[in-house]
């Protein structure tokens, strides 16, 4: 029987790559995004099912395949989540795998980050994950099987400078997912983490740019410049969309009890450093990699 995956945040980047890979591997794919874009999958040989084609759906002649539906889903809106789950069930039946991929990037200095920005990041990156999980768990529990995959970040393994708010939103999901995995094990449901490294080519990384304005005060200018220079010259290869998609497929099909799937050379290196060395060694390496010389004290 063909398995079905629902993926959030598929308009570009990791989510788009996941949808493409799962579809190529023979899965039914429910690709969701806040505002469905006809161009995202138009060239990928996909179409919507012929039944029930509301105006917000993509036209069926643009998507020539019967194993993909593209649906609107806003993870910050509980009604939107329920509507998407109902339409997915109408198209393919039960959802075997949920991939919570939707997310927002942010680089900022803590003292300059207003509450509204913090709330915006957590609404999507954290509370949105909680909401979609709460919505899908009863359906999976009734069937006695299923897999939930939450996409976090290498920032959840080792937080970097200028990532405090973003890392907090992802670390919350890391703790949530591990605890959830224990809760759901008696019901035959797995909960897993994908931990992508830094991917400068994705829209996800680019969407952090506009939020930088006003979030790095002049007093932190030298610190931020030094950090970005070191990040750009770091010798380890960065993460690609394809690596994250492969990690998601592995997490969806792995029958072991594995929890974490780092994706990308930088994330795997960071995970090894974090989990196989002492805290003193780890912190010293992190400071060597990214921290500039201490700022001079003002009198």
Question: How far is 88 from 82, CA to CA, in rounded Å?
Answer: 10
Which has the higher per-residue pLDDT, 291 or 96?
96
Domains and CATH numbers, the chain: 4-221+238-275 (3.40.50.720)
- 147 pLDDT band, cuts 50/70/90, is very high
Q: Over 80: is that where the pLDDT of 52 sits?
A: no
242 class by beta-carbon count within 10 Å (0-12 exposed, 13-18 middle, 19+ buried): middle
**Mean pLDDT score of the chain:** 86
Cα-flanking dihedrals φ and ψ of residue 235, to 5°?
-70, -20
C-alpha dist (Å) from residue 281 to 167, 276, 284: 21, 10, 5
Q: Which residues are the active-site residues?
A: 166
Stretch 127-133: mean pLDDT: 98
What's the pLDDT at 137? 99
What's the pLDDT at 252? 98
- 209 pLDDT band, cuts 50/70/90, is low
What's the pLDDT at 64? 40
Stretch 272-285: mean pLDDT: 90
pTM of the model: 0.86
Question: How far is 14 from 4, CA to CA, in rounded Å?
Answer: 18
C-alpha dist (Å) from residue 41 to 74, 99, 162, 200, 298: 19, 18, 34, 22, 56
Stretch 176-197: mean pLDDT: 97
Q: Over 90: is that where the pLDDT of 237 sits?
A: no
């Amino acid at each position: 029987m063909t398995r079905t995956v629902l993926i959030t945040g598929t308009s570009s980047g990791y989510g788009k790559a996941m949808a493409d890979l799962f579809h190529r591997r023979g899965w039914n794919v429910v690709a969701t995004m806040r505002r469905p874009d006809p161009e995202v999958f138009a060239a990928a040989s996909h179409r919507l099912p012929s039944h029930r084609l509301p105006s917000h759906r993509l036209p069926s002649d643009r998507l020539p395949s019967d194993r993909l539906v593209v649906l609107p889903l806003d993870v910050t809106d509980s009604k939107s989540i329920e509507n998407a789950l109902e339409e997915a069930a109408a198209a393919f039946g039960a959802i075997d795998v949920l991939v919570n991929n939707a997310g927002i990037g942010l680089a900022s200095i803590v003292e300059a980050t207003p509450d509204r920005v913090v709330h915006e990041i957590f609404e999507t990156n954290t509370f949105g994950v909680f909401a979609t999980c709460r919505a899908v768990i009863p359906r999976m529990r009734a069937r006695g099987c299923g897999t939930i995959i939450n996409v976090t970040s290498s920032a959840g393994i080792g937080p970097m400078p200028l990532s405090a708010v973003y890392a907090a939103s992802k670390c919350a999901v890391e703790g949530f997912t591990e605890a959830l995995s224990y809760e759901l094990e008696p019901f035959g449901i797995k909960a897993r983490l994908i931990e992508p490294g830094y991917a400068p080519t994705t829209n996800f990384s680019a969407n952090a740019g506009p939020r930088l304005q006003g979030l790095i005060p002049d007093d932190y200018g030298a610190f931020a410049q030094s950090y970005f220079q070191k990040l750009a010259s770091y010798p380890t290869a960065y993460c690609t969309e394809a690596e994250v998609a492969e990690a998601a497929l592995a997490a969806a099909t792995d029958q072991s009890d594995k929890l974490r799937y780092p994706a990308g050379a930088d994330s795997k290196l960071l995970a090894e450093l974090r989990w196989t060395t002492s805290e003193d060694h780890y912190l010293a390496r992190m400071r060597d990699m990214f921290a500039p010389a201490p700022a001079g004290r003002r009198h």
